[in-house]
């Protein structure tokens, strides 16, 4: 365990402390700065840059997997013509937003939050963080906002690949792609079929001798044009409405007419595939559309890559990895110098922060979620959470709007704390917070909080309705207030 230097004797007093300077934290800072001008707040960021996920992921081909017009901030226009953006473009956009609205003055880089403890007596949070010099810092804040995302930044999802320890080449996870990693004239095997694998495959063949994607089972892949005309001809608010509603309608279509949508995917994939690749073997998923994420393929780059002479697709179970190849159970072999384990991320709530209320530990496991933003019986704490089947930013912005509305209500009524409480007559049914059947989700499903089925405890999974509710709906029902 790391040895930290003694804490400074000073305790900094804040109204709000935001953890994380990614999309969620930056957006929340803007909302506080514009809606609550008198509130004193700061952002603690464990890394040395803004961006969160988009600063962490550096693998070739990294990009967003949904239309940028719904992922971008509602208050800062997306400047590029392409709706599917590269990681570099997203980082440039975030930097421009922070600079333009002078949000950088709130950010403390290389400050990792270790623990938070709510005091009912003091009606505030005590926060312990450590900076890059190993010096422990202490803060008091009325509210804590967790913009820590939904996965473990330091540990990827651990999947069993038989014999991987035998491999003599380089093993790389996309989450930890080495800076300046040279794969020129190397044979690369990508194990996985999710968004990382789909976006990486077209970027590697130009320098690699051979690129083989090894997938256990197929994924739905949606080729879309990486151009947009709608924002040239319509006002920004109409564009926002369009991209708020359209993905939701597509999800409803998948849910209620899965066979119809399956057939659409089959026809499009068959049209784009080379004749040497059989559709049903490699592109017929075992599940219905949107039971797991649908991967976006800008301008059909993934399908175009499959036509290259140095690209190969293998579908099936891995039997064993040897010192220089992957052997499949059906007898196929993949000779490789580099194995990329694009097998998913490790879901985790709260960024490994130890949370206590009056010195009693708080577990995320099975705890009920209020308004998609707070945990049952935990005062004055919100966590930013997006959508499994829509842009993350929309959900995070809804939470920030609820925060500002609730703060104003509490000020008008001279109350200090808001505690979500499930009433005795609340409906007994629950629903998962992350409604996908992906392996990485099911692995930690029991560790996640859940929704109830009534009032402000209901699932936040209808983006258009949630948008309206966050701005004009009831933001006090289900809360217990204290002076």
Tens of pLDDT, residues 310-353: 999 999 999 999 999 999 999 999 999 999 999 988 899 999 99
If phi over 0 gives left and psi between -120 and 50 gives alpha, with beta otherwise, what is residue 10? beta
Calpha distance 400→43 (Å, rounded): 14
**Domain limits, the chain:** 11-154+347-482, 164-341
471-481 confidence digits (pLDDT tens): 999 999 999 99
- The string of DSSP letters for 241-299 reads HHHHHHHHHHHHHHHH-HHHHHHHHHHHHHHHS-TTS-HHHHS--SS-TTSSPPEEEET
Of the pLDDT bands very low, low, confident and very high (cuts 50, 70, 90), residue 426 is low
The backbone torsions φ and ψ at residue 430, rounded to the nearest 5 degrees and listed phi first, read -130, 165
Angle at 19 (CA atoms; ends 126, 3), nearest 5 degrees: 65
Give the sign of the dihedral formed by CA 433, CA 435, CA 438, CA 442.
Answer: positive
Dihedral through CA 353, CA 357, CA 360, CA 364, nearest 10?
Answer: -50
**Which 8-state DSSP code applies to residue 4?**
P
Fold match between 11-154+347-482 and 164-341? yes
Span of 35-49, 221-235, 367-381 with lowest mean pLDDT: 221-235
Calpha distance 222→102 (Å, rounded): 38
Fold of 164-341: FAD/NAD(P)-binding domain (3.50.50)
Calpha distance 404→29 (Å, rounded): 11
We find that the CATH architecture of domain 11-154+347-482 is 3-Layer(bba) Sandwich (3.50)
Contacts of 154 (CB under 8 A, 6+ apart): 352
Helix (H, G, I), strand (E, B) or coil at 375: strand
pTM of the model: 0.94
Residue 2 has pLDDT above 60, yes or no: no
215-233 confidence digits (pLDDT tens): 999 999 999 999 887 777 7
Helix or strand (DSSP H, E) at 358: none
Alpha helices in 355-445 (DSSP H): 392-412, 439-442
What is the pLDDT averaged over residues 132-157?
A: 93
CB atoms closer than 10 angstroms to residue 424 = 5
């Amino acid at each position: 365990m790391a040895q930290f230097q003694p804490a400074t004797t000073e305790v900094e007093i804040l109204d709000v402390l935001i953890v994380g300077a990614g999309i969620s934290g930056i957006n929340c800072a803007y909302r506080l700065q514009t809606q609550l001008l008198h509130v004193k707040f700061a952002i603690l960021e464990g890394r040395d840059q803004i961006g969160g996920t988009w600063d962490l992921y550096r693998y070739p081909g990294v990009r967003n997997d949904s239309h940028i017009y719904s992922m971008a901030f509602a208050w800062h226009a997306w400047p590029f013509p392409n709706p599917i953006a590269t990681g570099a473009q997203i980082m440039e956009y975030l930097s421009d937003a922070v600079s333009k609205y002078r949000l950088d003055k709130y950010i403390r880089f290389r400050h990792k939050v270790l623990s938070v403890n709510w005091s009912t007596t003091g009606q505030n949070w005590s926060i312990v963080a450590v900076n890059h010099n190993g010096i422990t810092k202490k803060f008091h804040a009325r509210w804590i906002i967790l913009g820590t995302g939904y996965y473990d930044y330091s540990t990827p999802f651990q999947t069993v690949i038989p014999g991987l320890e035998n491999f003599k080449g380089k093993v790389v996870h996309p989450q930890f792609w080495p800076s300046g990693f040279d794969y020129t004239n190397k044979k690369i095997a990508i194990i996985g079929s999710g968004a990382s694998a789909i976006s990486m495959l077209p970027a590697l063949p130009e320098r690699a001798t051979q690129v083989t994607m090894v997938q256990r089972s197929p994924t739905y892949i949606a080729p879309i044009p990486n151009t947009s005309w709608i924002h040239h001809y319509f006002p920004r608010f109409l564009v926002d409405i369009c991209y708020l509603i359209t993905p939701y309608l597509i999800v409803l279509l998948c849910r209620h007419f899965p066979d119809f949508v399956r057939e659409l995917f089959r026809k499009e994939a068959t049209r784009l595939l080379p004749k040497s690749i059989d559709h049903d073997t490699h592109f017929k998923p075992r599940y219905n559309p949107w039971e797991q994420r649908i991967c976006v393929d800008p301008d059909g780059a993934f399908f175009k890559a499959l036509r290259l002479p140095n690209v190969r697709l293998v579908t099936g179970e891995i039997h064993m990895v040897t010192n220089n190849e992957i052997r499949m159970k059906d007898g196929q072999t993949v000779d490789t110098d580099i194995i990329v384990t694009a097998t998913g991320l490790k879901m985790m709530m709260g960024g490994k922060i130890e949370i206590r209320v009056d010195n009693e530990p708080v577990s995320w496991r099975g705890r009920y979620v209020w308004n998609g933003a707070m945990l049952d019986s935990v005062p004055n704490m919100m966590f930013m959470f997006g959508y499994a089947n829509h842009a993350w930013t929309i959900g995070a912005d809804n939470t920030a709007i609820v925060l500002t509305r609730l703060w104003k209500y509490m000020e008008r009524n001279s109350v200090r704390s808001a505690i979500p409480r499930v009433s005795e007559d609340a409906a007994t049914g629950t629903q998962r917070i992350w409604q996908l059947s992906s392996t990485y989700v099911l692995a930690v499903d029991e560790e996640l909080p859940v929704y109830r089925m009534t009032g402000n405890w209901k699932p936040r999974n209808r983006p258009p309705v949630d948008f309206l509710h966050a701005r004009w709906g009831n933001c006090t029902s289900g809360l217990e207030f204290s002076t």
